[in-house]
Amino acid sequence: MIKYLALYSMLIFSMFGQINSALGDSKMDYVYETVTWKAKAGVSDSDMVAAVDRMVDDLKQVDGFLNQTLYKDKNDQWVDIYYWKTEQNAIDSNGAMAEKESFKQLIQLIEPESVAIDIMAPLQSSGKVIFQ
């Protein structure tokens, strides 16, 4: 599945690259990845947040990582947004994190069939995004 997501991401970014080229100097200096999922029954919000925090500690060591923010919508859908320097950094992070204990612990809390991953490049912004 990750292989297909990577191929899909590459196709999408190829199209974004063509759009950005057509727009001239509008290219942003980051991409973002959204990961959405539903938690397994009985998993508390605090358990999920703690698991994501542990994983982010490892993720901060991955090349190109800029920032991460976790959300939960009114339908109990979790939305995790990761900012990366490049599309390739986002794609490579899957392999870099696959064997990390923190990632394995997080996956145990998630309904596997509910996971969706998208990587996108901004085409427009109302202002510069600064990561600290």
Which one-letter DSSP state was computed for residue 40? P
The CATH number of whichever domain residue 8 belongs to comes to 3.30.70.100
Give pTM, 2 decimals: 0.76
pLDDT along the chain (132 residues), means of 10: 46 41 56 97 98 97 97 98 96 95 97 97 87 78
pLDDT of residue 31: 96
Query: For position 6, what pLDDT does the model report?
Result: 44
Edge to edge, the sheet with strand 31-38 lists 65-72, 77-84, 31-38, 116-120
Distance CA 44, CA 89 (A): 31
Q: Give me the domain span that covers residue 39.
A: 2-120
Among residues 107, 105, 102, 82, the alpha carbon closest in space to that of 92 is found at 82
pLDDT of residue 40: 98
60 within some domain: yes
Question: Is residue 78, in this structure, part of any structural domain at all?
Answer: yes
128 occurs within a structural domain:
no
Number of domains observed in the structure of the chain: 1
Kindly state whether residue 25 falls inside one of the protein's structural domains: yes
Q: Establish if 131 belongs to a structural domain.
A: no
